[in-house]
Amino acid sequence: MKHSARQIFRVVIGLLIFATGIVITVNANLGYSPWNVFHEGLSNTLGITLGQANIIVGIAILLINIVLGQPIGWATVLNMLLIGTFIDILMLNNLLPKTTNIVYGIGMILIGVLIQGYGCYIYVSAGFGAGPRDGMMVVLTKRTGKSVKLIKTSLEVIAVLVGMSLGGRFGVGTLLMAVFGGPIFQFAFKTVNFNIRDVKHRFIQDDLKLLKNRG
């Protein structure tokens, strides 16, 4: 129990760091990441915050993942609820710097994505599953037999197109994050000697089975 509590705390800290990286890229004012173009479009349409839109989309994707048979971890649920909450806390209280300078903005984009990479390492390495969007990518890859790259790119393109139609901001920052996001995450993982394939996840289904067997 103590070990699980420590790991859950690790997940929460990782998600806070991840959300901090997201807000830094938002405050660069060069366009949102592919998924956040969709989140902003949804927030504009429904009159809600960016964080609330993030949570709503996360819930919808989580339900789809469950229907498709993707195992769900506690970190998946926490990701769905906490990243959006942390985004709103950071943005509504103006806790992070903003810029309208394109050079500073590019720097903030790169730094923000790097911070997201370290946040991802911290929460995923706890072994309680990944976020709903990553789960969808995994389950669709398994279901279709297509490559991860193709599925990931397809999902992000759809998110951008729908988001833009709803008024989400697409810009040079969107392109930077789409092109360099993967390599920057990989760089972050290398600096801490982290291989995401080595993580053995414990899912909610596993805990339910354990409780059932003990009962």
At a CB cut-off of 8 Å and minimum separation 6, what does 151 contact? 137, 140, 141, 144
Render pLDDT for 38-84 as a digit per residue (tens, 0 to 9): 999 999 999 999 999 999 999 999 999 999 999 999 999 999 999 99
Render pLDDT for 149-175 as a digit per residue (tens, 0 to 9): 899 999 999 999 999 999 999 999 999
CB 193 within 8 A of CB 68: no
Structure tokens given for 30: 């060069």
Over 70: is that where the pLDDT of 1 sits?
no
CB 143 within 8 A of CB 154: no
- First-last CA distance in the chain: 17
Distance CA 14, CA 16 (A): 5
Structure tokens given for 150: 């193709």
Structure tokens given for 81: 């609820």
Structure tokens given for 172: 């040079």
Helix (H, G, I), strand (E, B) or coil at 74: helix
CA atoms within 13 Å, Cβ hemisphere of 208: 7
Helix (H, G, I), strand (E, B) or coil at 171: coil
Confirm whether pTM is higher than 0.75.
Answer: yes
Distance CA 22, CA 26 (A): 6
